[in-house]
Amino acid sequence: MDEFDEQPLFPSPSPVTSDHAVPVSDARLLENLRSFVAPIARDMKVVIDDPRALKMARDMSEVFADHAGLTGMTKADVEHALSGRGNVDHALFESRFDLFVRMGLIKPFLEKKQQSRYVLDPSGMVGLLVFERLGTRGGVEEMLLLLDRTRWLIETGEADRATLAKHLKRCRQLLSVYTASLARLIGTASISELMDEHRNHDPRKVQHDVHVLNRLVTDRFARDFELGELAFQLVKAELAYRHQVLSAVDRVLDQGGASLDFSVLTPEQYLSAALDASLEELSGVAGQLVVDPPSAWLDPGSVVDALDEFRPRRRQPSRPPEPTGGADADPIGTMQQQHERMARQRRLAIESHLGDADSIDLTATLREMGWPAAAVELVELLGVSADPTQPFTVSLGEQALIDVESPVTYLHPVTLHREQTIQEDQRQ
């Protein structure tokens, strides 16, 4: 049993494909891609910061692959197809589509002006696949592929000595870079970050490939001391790399166990332990837990305060408020005064219409008032006419006056009369 079998903390990535790798968010993918494109970057803004733009590029590529056919798609066709996948940010779509056309990711179907149909350049979709692979496992898979290719070149004899030396040197350099990166994370990163990084590495495969390479170089180039030295340096780099991988595991176990962080292990590992471990091993998991016995935390004063706070309150009856008026106030007399005042106001308003005349036609006046002022005034006139204490009558003609251009389109003739009272007849 080797060292790695003693500490199987995380499942190793698949040596054949990255389909089973732990997925990362688009934000983390963009963070990884910045370091990949830095050697060819014009400035630090060469990679987008918005994960929505990456999703737009991925969805747009799939739309072209699924719907373009042999004649391509129009810009409107692409946006319509994207809407079938969910809500589309129109401004984001416009900016990304125009950028992809300028950069050649999306090409016009015909090289003519006013060309409205487009196709996707195959290298663009391949680039997306490459970036997905690079960003998901942090480039570790490319190091494994370089080790496999170097071994293949030696076994088939396809490479000359200079190419082989270049590949051995590049493998050692990659291992050294990953070793330093792991050392930095062990000293600075959190447990979760260290666990995420550890899942990208496959130390068993690296150890196997490096040792196979060393044996091949030793057997086939026994007299080439330079290649032998490069193979030896590669083995040293692999040992340092393996040491950092083990140190990362040790730090996760030590710190996770001390802090009782149960997220260190996967749910499958807990399930396996529950099914296969002994009672002594399972009981040791909670050996460091501290549990205080329950105790009463209420004192008598707190109980009394709670009773006072939640005890139902009885409502005390209260006297109704005393009247604000004096003892000699006459409500009936007050109402009579109000009625007389309103009757006087109506009479004065009628007198203003009649003036010195005993009768007047108010039809034109009502028409000029407009609606609903004319209706209010007519109701007031009829009310005064029905009051026996008022010496006025109102007569309505049977003729219907209709004028669609007038403020009051429909009206009957209205005439106001003044009746002579008995006192006036006697004076006459």
User: Is the Cβ–Cβ distance between 380 and 342 less than 8 Å?
Assistant: no
Banded pLDDT at 239 (limits 50, 70, 90) = very high
DSSP string, 207-247: HHHHHHHHHHHHHH-TT-HHHHHHHHHHHHHHHHHHHHHHH
Distance between CA 137 and CA 143 in Å, rounded? 11
Q: Which of 129-138, 174-183, 207-216, 365-374 has the lowest mean pLDDT?
A: 129-138
Which of 128, 120, 133 has the alpha carbon at shortest distance from 65? 120
Measure Cα distances from 417 to 8, 86, 146, 402 in Å: 113, 78, 116, 24
The residue to which tokens 């049993």 are assigned: 1
CATH code for the structural domain at 26-135: 1.10.10
Residue-wise pLDDT tens digits, 337-389: 887 787 777 777 777 777 777 777 777 776 777 777 777 777 777 777 777 77
Domain ranges of the chain: 26-135, 139-258, 352-427
Q: What is the pLDDT of residue 34?
A: 65
Which of 241, 248, 231 has the alpha carbon at shortest distance from 190? 248
Distance between CA 214 and CA 210 in Å, rounded? 6
User: Is the Cβ–Cβ distance between 199 and 13 less than 8 Å?
Assistant: yes
Q: Which residues, at least 6 apart from 206, have a Cβ–Cβ distance to it below 8 Å? A: 143, 144, 147, 175, 238, 241, 242
Predicted confidence (pLDDT) at residue 65 exceeds the cutoff of 50: yes
* Bridge partners, residue 417, by sequence: 359, 393
Q: Which of 14-23, 105-114, 363-372, 413-422 has the lowest mean pLDDT?
A: 14-23
Measure Cα distances from 174 to 11, 35, 141, 189 in Å: 22, 14, 11, 21
Residue-wise pLDDT tens digits, 150-204: 889 888 888 788 888 888 988 888 888 888 888 888 888 787 777 777 777 888 8
Predicted confidence (pLDDT) at residue 113 exceeds the cutoff of 80: no
For the full predicted model, state whether its pTM sits above 0.75.
Answer: no
Q: Which amino acid is at 204?
A: R
Mean pLDDT, the chain, as a whole number?
A: 75
Residue-wise pLDDT tens digits, 285-341: 666 666 666 666 677 778 888 888 887 777 777 888 776 665 556 778 788 888 778
Distance between CA 261 and CA 114 in Å, rounded? 62
Q: What is the pLDDT of residue 240?
A: 92
